[in-house]
């Protein structure tokens, strides 16, 4: 699967990406519940399993930790992380968004 990369991170860096929840009328609206996961699209490997977002808002910052940006295979110059965010408004009323980030391999970087 390929797609537009939203943001670039250096290996071992942290930050946030933003997900916007929209209801069926395409209006920004906080869901009743929300969760997200992070996968490495390059290596087809889970990086972080589903995490619950405690108090979701319509425009939600999703945290990316330094562990999420560690390079899995040093032979790769970069790896693509796929962040899947799911919001639920009610029974059978869900919205899902996927955000891609690129992680640049820093060949001499080793976590402290």
Residue 15 domain-assigned?
yes
Residue 2 domain-assigned?
yes
Under 8 Å between Cβ of 46 and 53: no
Under 8 Å between Cβ of 56 and 89: no
Residue 86 domain-assigned?
yes
Q: What is the pTM of this model?
A: 0.90
Residue 63 domain-assigned?
no
Segments forming the whole domain that contains residue 85: 1-52+80-105
Under 8 Å between Cβ of 9 and 105: no
What residues contact 91, with CB distance under 8 A and at least 6 apart? none
- The two structure tokens encoding residue 107: 């060949």
Q: What is the mean pLDDT of each run of 10 residues along the chain (112 residues)?
A: 75 96 89 97 98 96 97 96 95 91 92 80
Residue 64 domain-assigned?
no
Residue 60 domain-assigned?
no
């Amino acid at each position: 699967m390929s797609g537009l990369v939203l943001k670039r991170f250096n290996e071992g860096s942290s930050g946030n990406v933003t997900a916007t929840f929209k209801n069926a009328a395409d209006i920004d609206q906080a869901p009743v519940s929300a969760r997200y996961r992070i996968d490495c699209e390059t290596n087809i490997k889970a990086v972080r399993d589903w995490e619950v977002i405690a108090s979701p808002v319509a425009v939600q910052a999703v945290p990316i930790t330094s562990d999420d940006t560690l390079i899995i295979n040093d032979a790769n110059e970069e790896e693509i992380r796929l962040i899947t965010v799911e919001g639920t408004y009610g029974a059978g009323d869900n919205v899902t968004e996927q955000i891609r980030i690129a992680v640049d391999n820093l060949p001499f970087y080793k976590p402290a």
